Amino acid sequence: MSKWSGEIRKAILSHILLIGLPTLFFYSLRQGGWSLNGLHFAIATFYLFSAFMLLLESATAMFRRFATDDYKQDHRRFSPAYYQAKAKLGVGGARQPYPKAPVPKCSFLIAAYLPNEQDIILETLEHVLLNVQRPAGGLEVILAYNTPSDLPVEQQLETLAQLYPELQLLRVEGSRSKAENLNAAFELVTGEITCILDADHHPASDCFLRAWHWIDQGYDVVQGRSIIRNHRRNWLTQTIAIEFEMIYGIIHPAKSFLTDSSIFGGSNGYWRTPVLKQIRFNPVMLTEDIDASMRTLLKGYRILHDRSIISTELAPVDLYSFWFQRKRWSQGWLEVGLKYQQPVIHSDKLNLQQKLFWTYLLYYCEFYSLVAIQIIPLLFSLSLMQTRVPVAIEQYLWFSTLLSFFSGILQTLITAKIGAVRYPIYYYLNHVVLLIPYIIFKNVIAIVGIYDHLRGYSSWKVTPRGQQPQYRSVLQQSPPTGEPALPSPKRM
């Protein structure tokens, strides 16, 4: 419990400030003759807008914009006009893409903090080297890592690099962040497309083929979809798995489809290499990926989300790791929002729709937890006055609240339609049951993150990977001669 004591104190103090003080303030206003009906109406409208956005995202996610222009017509089910309309909208199924030009040389840039990821890095590298289809132009894999001391796994990495010359190892001395590791590796990157990966990510074999489909059409960054690989571990990883299906299977694709804009999510992102080298990453930002996204868009470059470009990753396996990961995300988003909101409004590179989209992401989503919680002090102050709001406003508040809950359930059902092939149906049923407590818990984390930001506390902890299943490296698969086996990589 000692490791939680500081966070619990901050959670209690921040909620006293957000609930206790407003309750006294609203109570004093009511005693002074203020009805505060307008505030009740505003909170209800806030909930209603949130529900509308969830419903819009869910509906839009049914349109599937993937990296393909192969629209095969099934005349037994739909008319040719249906498929022609989908083709004009850029909508299709998860079929194999066929770019018009051969895929050029590509680079994987993998960032790692080895003390935390020494147990998973060999598996990731071997997955990339052996499973990803080699582009016609060639493939290079660069591992940029930092470690405060020498580790036994570094010897294994050297052996792997001897077996696969396309693998380059870069130990970044003095680095304290992922951003510094990535920036140091830019001098080595020679591919026309660079995919940035975290150390736990396993991309699909056709990832570059699908990304090149969009980059060849003029996009500068293509963000893929993240799938949770260790979802069977416990109830938390199951819940995160469904949440990620919502984020990367519905929310981001819908926003990308509606606004022709998206974010780089830190991993499984495919960059036009000259753009990446120009943008680089800011090591002082808590969410260097969102910061890079903003600078990319403000310079007039284009980012797209394609949920058919899949990579699997590891979710936090306990609440402690989850807490600090999400707190960093919350604080990092706030940091980016405060830094870039004005440039977004005044940008001549973004259209009105994109400006509204980024304002919604940077401010509305970040401050949702602060605003939504104000219904509690409003109701407490009403109780102290032993009075009620007008029936019409009360009904409006109930309607918006129930619609918000319904929209969350609907989004879960749409997610089930998209991801049922991957997860058992009871995952989604559990998610519906845990929906409200899970949202409340995340809101508590977000509020503590904002509290930390206001106090000037910006350090963050590395998310522990937890104990991993036993992995047998190719270095351990030796034939009778004693030499390591050398499986053949895949070719396009």
DSSP result, 282-326:
-TTSTTHHHHHHHHHHHTT--EEEEEEEEEEEPPP-SHHHHHHHH
Q: Would the CA dihedral through 444, 450, 452, 454 be positive or negative?
A: negative
In single-letter form, the type of residue at position 209 comes to: L
The partner residues of 168 in beta bridges, in order of sequence, read 142
Structural domains of the chain, ranges and CATH numbers in brackets: 96-331 (3.90.550.10)
3-class DSSP state of 415:
helix
Instruction: Identify the helix (H) or strand (E) that includes residue 428.
Output: helix 425-454
**Calpha distance 188→173 (Å, rounded):** 16
Contacts of residue 163, Cβ cutoff 8 Å, sequence gap at least 6: 474, 475, 484, 486
DSSP letter (8 states) at residue 110: E
DSSP letter (8 states) at residue 113: E
**Calpha distance 382→26 (Å, rounded):** 9
3-class DSSP state of 158:
helix
User: Which pLDDT score, from 0 to 100, does residue 245 have?
Assistant: 92
Short-list 151, 146, 141, 196, CA closest to 172: 146
**Calpha distance 30→26 (Å, rounded):** 6
3-class DSSP state of 195:
strand
Short-list 167, 196, 190, CA closest to 267: 196
Question: Rounded to 5, what percent of the chain is helix, strand, coil?
Answer: 55, 10, 35
Short-list 347, 336, 371, 192, CA closest to 266: 336
Cβ atoms < 10 Å from Cβ of 222: 29
223 contacts 262 by C-beta, under 8 angstroms? yes
Instruction: Identify the helix (H) or strand (E) that includes residue 271.
Output: strand 269-272
Contacts of residue 63, Cβ cutoff 8 Å, sequence gap at least 6: 89, 91, 257
122 contacts 160 by C-beta, under 8 angstroms? yes
Largest CA distance in the chain: 90
Per-residue pLDDT of the chain (492 residues; tens, 9 = 90+): 567 888 999 999 999 999 999 999 999 999 998 989 999 999 999 999 999 998 998 888 776 655 444 444 444 445 566 556 655 555 555 455 566 788 999 999 999 999 999 999 999 999 999 999 999 899 999 999 999 999 999 999 999 999 999 999 999 999 989 999 999 999 999 999 999 999 999 999 999 999 999 999 899 999 999 999 999 999 999 999 999 999 998 999 888 988 989 999 999 999 999 999 999 999 999 999 999 999 999 999 999 999 889 999 999 999 999 999 999 999 999 999 999 999 999 999 999 989 988 888 887 777 888 888 999 999 999 899 888 888 999 899 999 999 998 998 999 988 888 776 788 889 999 999 998 899 999 999 999 999 998 888 877 677 777 667 777 777 766 554 555 555 667 666
User: Which pLDDT score, from 0 to 100, does residue 71 have?
Assistant: 42
DSSP result, 354-381:
HHHHHHIIIIIHHHHHHHHTTHHHHHHH
**Calpha distance 3→159 (Å, rounded):** 39
Torsion angles phi and psi, residue 194, rounded to 5? -125, 125
**Calpha distance 382→22 (Å, rounded):** 12
**Calpha distance 289→265 (Å, rounded):** 6
Residue with tokens 């299709």: 92
Q: Are strands 139-146 and 167-171 parallel, antiparallel or unpaired?
A: parallel
In single-letter form, the type of residue at position 192 comes to: E
Residue with tokens 């489909």: 213
Q: Are strands 221-228 and 303-313 parallel, antiparallel or unpaired?
A: parallel
Angle between helices 391-419 and 425-454 (to 10 degrees): 120
3-class DSSP state of 234:
coil
pTM, to two decimals: 0.88
